[in-house]
Amino acid sequence: MPDNHRHAVVLGASIAGLTAARALRDTFGRVTVFDRDTLPDGSAHRRGVPQAEHAHGLLAHGRAVLEELFPGLVADLAARGAVPVDIQRDVVWVFGNRPAPRAASGLAGLCVSRALLESYLRERVAALPGVTVLDGHEATGLRYDGTRVTGATVRPVAGGADREVHADLVVDATGRGNRGASWLEALGFERPAEERIDAGTVYVSRDYRRVPGREDFAAILNAPGGPARPYGGIALGTDGDRWMVTLLGVGAGQAPPTDHDGYQAFAAKLPDPRLHRLLCAAEPLGDPVRLRLPGSVRRRYERLIRRPERLVSVGDALCSFNPAYGQGMTVAVAQARELGAAARDGLDGLPARFYARAARIIDVPWDMSAGGDLAYPQVQGPRSRRTDLLNAYVARVQAATGRDAAVARRFLEVTNLVRPPQSLMAPPMLARVLWHGRRAATPAPAPAPRPAVPV
Ligand SMILES: Cc1cc2nc3c(=O)[nH]c(=O)nc-3n(C[C@H](O)[C@H](O)[C@H](O)COP(=O)(O)OP(=O)(O)OC[C@H]3O[C@@H](n4cnc5c(N)ncnc54)[C@H](O)[C@@H]3O)c2cc1C
């Protein structure tokens, strides 16, 4: 039962902030969410989340956690045009040179635009009793009584004086550009240690009109192929009868062009021809949009010896990943669920309990994202013999996904965060990987036509 005397303040009304607000509402009588942006009424782009113009995949684990926090979410979003998928059957995955065999896997994903997902979460959260979402308010600092954080300071973007808001818990969900570490420093605490990796990735995205049922796949993902092929391309069939297409290049000189012909030509370089064919046949719905990705940052709040009570950072403010692995939203919502669980155990010592649990959620996706980036020799970061061995093994796994449906399924289970990476090294799987991964360089045969599926 929520305690009506308790008030939680959440800074940032995006994926992490909204899901944290939902999870905290189980124990806090009042939750107030502030965002500095003007939040649109429906599904529309806004300044504070420029990444929303680029294709966002929702992993199976993220979909399951969101459905748990917001029962009925998948059906509601499907009614608004999002496309529920079986992640192996309905999606073309190209990790090596060949597409993975498609087969029913039970891995349930959702192709939804970032803007629709966020607007839906906002609607659901704002409708919760006791929850208020206030836009046009920028968080500028914290209130502190010498032991614990007692609230936050917010400034109306339209002008006017700073406002002090009392809170029993403050959640910083202000994303990659957060000022959490500086705020800690201003209170006399150490900044958390940071791990940073920058693969130098550039995304260029464009929407195209989608005719439902015309293609036999709901999405196609050509993952970047390491130093030998440092580029990739994605098309997700989403709401608004659109293909959200993102082409990406890793490292200097690899950025996809932003002009029409150059964009199409870049797609033609991908190992599987279907994305290029799609772009040639579909009508573009606007110009390509370019984004140079900032690097990935993991802030080690769990290692701080001294930290104030009643303050936590979540989502990208705690750890932001290379989006090529599609993990950010899933990790954010999994943290929100854990924050709710930590709050149910009481407010004393909550940050320590939450950060310990959050670190366990982050470990695997961070190793995948940072380790994968380190496969590129130009990327700076802490390398060890283990990193090189793991990357060599992952390259074999990726090659094997093109030949063995069971390896593909296991790899997808791991990358969708529903199985641990060790499961790729268990004896029967290890043998399949070593056998099927040995012929990585053999080119793929042309994809056979398949009956259309209603996606
Ligand atoms: C190009 C790109 C592609 C991506 N693709 C994927 C993908 O396929 N799958 C996936 O899961 N993830 C993907 N991600 C990652 C995903 O976008 C993030 O992990 C996710 O948005 C994290 O949510 P968040 O709420 O922590 O932060 P954000 O979504 O960045 O939101 C931060 C919020 O805080 C607000 N804010 C900022 N400062 C203040 C302040 N001072 N006061 C008040 N409000 C403030 C902003 O307006 C915003 O609403 C991608 C990221 C990028 C950059």
For residues 117 and 76, is the Cβ–Cβ distance under 8 A?
no
Neighbours of 148 (CB within 10 A): 17
With a 6 Å cutoff on the Cβ, whether 238 touches ligand 1 is no
Instruction: Report pLDDT for 371.
Output: 87
| Type and span of the H or E element at 387 | helix 385-401
The pLDDT confidence band at residue 293, using thresholds 50, 70 and 90, is: confident
With a 6 Å cutoff on the Cβ, whether 203 touches ligand 1 is yes
Instruction: Report pLDDT for 325.
Output: 85
**Do 200-292 and 3-46+115-195+297-362 fall under one CATH topology?**
no
Question: 117 vs 444, which has greater pLDDT?
Answer: 117
Q: What is the pLDDT of residues 269-281, one digit of tens each?
A: 999 999 999 999 9
With a 6 Å cutoff on the Cβ, whether 172 touches ligand 1 is no
With a 6 Å cutoff on the Cβ, whether 49 touches ligand 1 is yes
Check pLDDT > 80 for residue 70: yes
Instruction: Report pLDDT for 385.
Output: 84
The pLDDT confidence band at residue 69, using thresholds 50, 70 and 90, is: very high
Check pLDDT > 80 for residue 224: yes
Nearest ligand 1 atom to alpha carbon 57:
8
Q: What is the pLDDT of residues 318-359, one digit of tens each?
A: 999 998 889 999 999 999 999 999 999 999 999 999 999 999
Q: What is the pLDDT of residues 426-443, one digit of tens each?
A: 888 998 999 888 765 444
Integer CA distances (angstroms), 55 to 91, 160, 206, 247, 320, in order: 14, 37, 9, 10, 17
Reference 237, options 260, 271, 208, 266; nearest CA is 208
With a 6 Å cutoff on the Cβ, whether 17 touches ligand 1 is yes
Check pLDDT > 70 for residue 451: no
With a 6 Å cutoff on the Cβ, whether 173 touches ligand 1 is yes
Mutate to test the pocket of ligand 1, among 329, 330, 339, 361 (most ligand atoms within 8 A of CB): 329
With a 6 Å cutoff on the Cβ, whether 291 touches ligand 1 is yes
Mean pLDDT of 105-109: 96
The whole-chain average pLDDT of the chain stands at: 93
The domain limits of the chain are 3-46+115-195+297-362, 200-292
| Type and span of the H or E element at 97 | none
Tell me the backbone φ, ψ of residue 351, rounded to 5 degrees: -55, -45
Distance CA 424, CA 283 (A): 41
Mutate to test the pocket of ligand 1, among 56, 137, 142 (most ligand atoms within 8 A of CB): 56
Confidence (pTM): 0.94
Distance CA 248, CA 250 (A): 7
Amino acid at the residue 328: G
> Which residue has a Cα nearest atom 11 of ligand 1?
329
The pLDDT confidence band at residue 165, using thresholds 50, 70 and 90, is: very high
Distance CA 38, CA 321 (A): 26
Mutate to test the pocket of ligand 1, among 9, 10, 11, 14 (most ligand atoms within 8 A of CB): 14
How many angstroms is it from 454 CA to the middle of ligand 1?
A: 31
How many angstroms is it from 49 CA to the middle of ligand 1?
A: 6
Check pLDDT > 90 for residue 297: yes
Check pLDDT > 70 for residue 169: yes
Mean pLDDT of 29-49: 93
Distance CA 301, CA 294 (A): 21
For residues 60 and 418, is the Cβ–Cβ distance under 8 A?
yes
CA dihedral 56, 58, 59, 63 (to 10 degrees): 170
With a 6 Å cutoff on the Cβ, whether 119 touches ligand 1 is no
Q: Three-class SS of residue 7?
A: strand
How many angstroms is it from 176 CA to the middle of ligand 1?
A: 7
Check pLDDT > 80 for residue 262: yes
Instruction: Report pLDDT for 448.
Output: 47
Q: Three-class SS of residue 154?
A: strand
With a 6 Å cutoff on the Cβ, whether 51 touches ligand 1 is yes
Reference 114, options 56, 178, 164, 163; nearest CA is 56
CATH of domain 200-292: 3.30.70
Instruction: Report pLDDT for 5.
Output: 84
Strands 131-134 and 28-34: parallel
Check pLDDT > 60 for residue 447: no
With a 6 Å cutoff on the Cβ, whether 96 touches ligand 1 is no
Reference 225, options 391, 418, 386, 51; nearest CA is 391
Check pLDDT > 80 for residue 191: yes
What are 381's two structure tokens? 């970061």
For residues 82 and 93, is the Cβ–Cβ distance under 8 A?
no
Q: Is the four-CA dihedral 187, 190, 194, 200 of positive or negative sign?
A: positive
Q: Which residue has the tokens 């932001």?
A: 320
Q: Three-class SS of residue 455?
A: coil
For residues 298 and 319, is the Cβ–Cβ distance under 8 A?
yes
Distance CA 114, CA 12 (A): 16
Mean pLDDT of 1-10: 90
Instruction: Report pLDDT for 97.
Output: 86
Check pLDDT > 50 for residue 449: no
Architecture of domain 3-46+115-195+297-362: 3-Layer(bba) Sandwich (3.50)
Mean pLDDT of 405-411: 95
Instruction: Report pLDDT for 309.
Output: 97
Instruction: Report pLDDT for 424.
Output: 92
SS3 annotation, 14-67: CHHHHHHHHHHCCCEEEEEEECCCCCCCCCCCCCCCHHHHCCCEECHHHHHHHH
With a 6 Å cutoff on the Cβ, whether 138 touches ligand 1 is yes
Mean pLDDT of 19-38: 97
